């Protein structure tokens, strides 16, 4: 598809302004920065954790909401637990997913997950 070739995207966008067509949003997970993050014990649910973070799209374009992956590892770096979350699982209700992630706008995310246990000594967040 021509729209996926970065050099041709502006030409295709210009054509679509004069034609009745809809282009898919771009995907640029490498351009999403996490500006704040926290994992803490869930205040109301035993054996659960709360993950909160603030992310921002550093790209110059609107992009599709990414998958959010959480990985917990032990002291030797072995994965203890991992899960991927869809945007409707980590974004607040009311955010219109179809409008995509706007450039430069900070967005909060919140998740509740099962505590992987004492073996988990570190965590990593990734956007896919």
In this prediction, residues 81-95 reach a mean pLDDT of 94
What does the chain come to in residues? 128
- Domain that includes residue 98, residue range: 25-127
In this structure, are residues 69 and 128 in contact, taking their beta carbons and an 8 Å threshold? yes
- Average pLDDT taken over every residue of the chain: 90
Domain presence at residue 121: yes
Domain presence at residue 118: yes
Domain presence at residue 12: no
HSE at residue 123, side-chain half, CA atoms within 13 A, is 18
Which tens digits make up the pLDDT trace of 7-53?
Answer: 666 666 666 777 777 777 889 999 999 999 999 999 999 999 999 99
Q: What is the pLDDT of residue 84?
A: 97
Which value, to the nearest 10 degrees, does the dihedral of the CA atoms of residues 26, 28, 31, 33 take? 100
Domain presence at residue 52: yes
Q: Is the pLDDT of residue 94 over 70?
A: yes
Report d(CA 73, CA 79) in Å as an integer.
Answer: 4
Domain presence at residue 4: no
Domain presence at residue 1: no
Reading the block at residue 47, the tokens are 């054996």
The torsion region of residue 18 among left (phi > 0), alpha (psi -120 to 50) and beta comes to alpha
Q: Is the pLDDT of residue 2 over 60?
A: no
Q: What is the pLDDT of residue 34?
A: 96
Which tens digits make up the pLDDT trace of 61-75?
Answer: 999 999 999 999 999
pTM of the prediction?
0.81
Q: What is the CATH number of the domain that holds 94?
A: 2.60.40
Domain presence at residue 36: yes
Count the domains in the chain.
1
Domain presence at residue 76: yes
Helix or strand holding residue 127 (H, E): strand 122-127
Report d(CA 57, CA 73) in Å as an integer.
Answer: 27
């Amino acid at each position: 598809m021509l729209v996926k070739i970065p050099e041709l995207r502006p030409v295709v966008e210009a054509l679509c302004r004069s034609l009745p067509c809809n282009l898919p949003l771009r995907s640029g997970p490498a351009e999403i920065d996490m500006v704040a993050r926290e994992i803490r014990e869930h205040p109301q649910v035993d054996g659960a954790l709360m993950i909160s973070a603030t992310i921002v799209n550093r790209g110059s374009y609107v992009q599709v909401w990414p998958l959010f992956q959480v990985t917990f590892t032990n002291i030797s770096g072995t994965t203890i637990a991992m899960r991927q979350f869809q945007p409707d699982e980590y974004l607040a209700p009311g955010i219109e997913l179809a409008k995509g992630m706007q450039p430069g706008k900070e967005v909060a995310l919140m998740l509740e997950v099962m505590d992987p246990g004492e073996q988990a000594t570190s965590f990593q967040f990734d956007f896919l």
